[in-house]
Chains A and B, each alone.
Chain A
Amino acid sequence: MIQSLRTLRLRIRSIENTRKITRAMEMISSSKFNRAKQALFAHLPYYLKLDGMVTHMLESVDMPPHPFLEKGPAEKPAALVLVTSDTGLCSTYNHSAIRQAENFIAKRGKEKTMLLAIGREGFNYFKRQNIDIKDAYIDHHGRLTKELSEKITSNLTGMFLEKKVSEVYMAYTHFGGVLRHKPVLEKILDIESPGEPVIEYLAEPDIQAIFDKILPKYIAEKIRHILMDAFTSEHASRMVAMKSAKDNATELIDTLTLLKNKARQAAITKEILEISMSAEALKG
């Protein structure tokens, strides 16, 4: 009985340590999440308006040509950028993004896909599957820097303009709320025209110059926005995962404490019983 009392105490202590760690991780993720969410929502109106503006321009009657609007060579592979996290402990976040990429590869075929990975989890997964990874951007830990988004943008547009790839896609997780994470596959390049040209625009200085300026910017902001979206989702997933881990630990501690108290009470009862019995025996 004494033995089991000690093991219970040890187990409770170890779970308390785990709870401390998960709680700290939850707090860290929650502060990272708040920062990421703030940046995401500050960027959202700008991005949506830019998106709307580009859509309007694509509907313009005298739309000039631009390399971003042309389809890439069909015989070349399509580039797929998979956004995952660098570390685990974030519930199904990585799993669902990876599955999205797997579906893409299954549909297009291994030879027709050029995979790029952002985040160690996705990189490791596809490396184990013996799938070639053209480029990997790892160890950013859900922190979006200007350098990172610029590097990815110039790499992707460079590949597309040099006609090494036919299309560019990104597979990431869209943040739709703390508990809602939706894996998304989005086409980055080429930019598809939404339909028949209907608007007669005046342009100043001229539409070609504006096009040359706005389209690279649009692609850059789109990639930036997708990364922000994915990283916000990552922090939210981890925050929720760590919160449930913490709650589980608390529950376990409660159950074990109850057991411990029962065991202690049983030990005391037994001891009293022994004393009173021996006292009884001495009397006789």
Chain B
Amino acid sequence: MSATFSVSIASREGTLYEGSATSLVAPGEIGYLGILHSHAPIITSLIPGKVTVRTDSGQTILIKSSGDGFMDVLKDHVTILLESAEVVK
């Protein structure tokens, strides 16, 4: 099993995902960026697009974001805030 980190994703309407993940891809302003375990602290703004989370049980969660957002990675904890978004699957 690969190393995991914790992820919390929230929109203004509520929490979308809260748990651990092995990898995550988010739509950064200058291109999609992937996050893995032990990523350096980074803060980015996000544009509309898809956020993909691969959970430790191998499931893939796809979230469609239709507004601006922010992502903060610090000490193996990723926080994503999305203006308006919904879980696709």
Contact = CB atoms under 8 A, between A and B. Distances in A.
Interface stretch (A137-145, A158-166, A208-216): A208-216
Nearest to B11: A46
A53 B10 contact: no
A252 interface: no
Contacts of B12: 42-43, 46, 221
Given A45-B15, A49-B81, A203 B10 contact: no
Interface residues of B, number: 23
Interface string B1-41: 00000001011111100000000000011100100000011
Nearest to B31: A204
A43 B70 CA distance: 16
A205 interface: yes
Nearest to A211: B43
B30 A199 contact: no
A137 to B, nearest CB: 22
Contacts of B40: 202
A199 B43 CA distance: 11
A52 B77 CA distance: 12
B88 interface: no
A229 B17 CA distance: 24
A186 interface: no
B68 interface: yes
A49 B45 contact: no
A203 B79 CA distance: 14
A56 B72 contact: yes
B87 interface: no
B30 A205 contact: yes
A53 B43 contact: yes
Contacts of A53: 43, 70, 72, 79, 81
A210 B40 CA distance: 17
Contacts of B28: 204
A168 interface: no
Contact of A199 (B44, B68, B74, B79): B74
Interface of A: 42-43, 45-46, 49-50, 52-53, 56-57, 60, 199-205, 207, 209-210, 213-214, 221
15 contacts: A45-B8, A46-B14, A49-B8, A49-B10, A49-B79, A50-B81, A53-B72, A56-B43, A199-B74, A202-B40, A202-B41, A202-B42, A202-B43, A209-B45, A210-B45
Cβ-closest 6 pairs across A and B: A204-B44, A202-B42, A42-B14, A45-B10, A46-B10, A53-B72
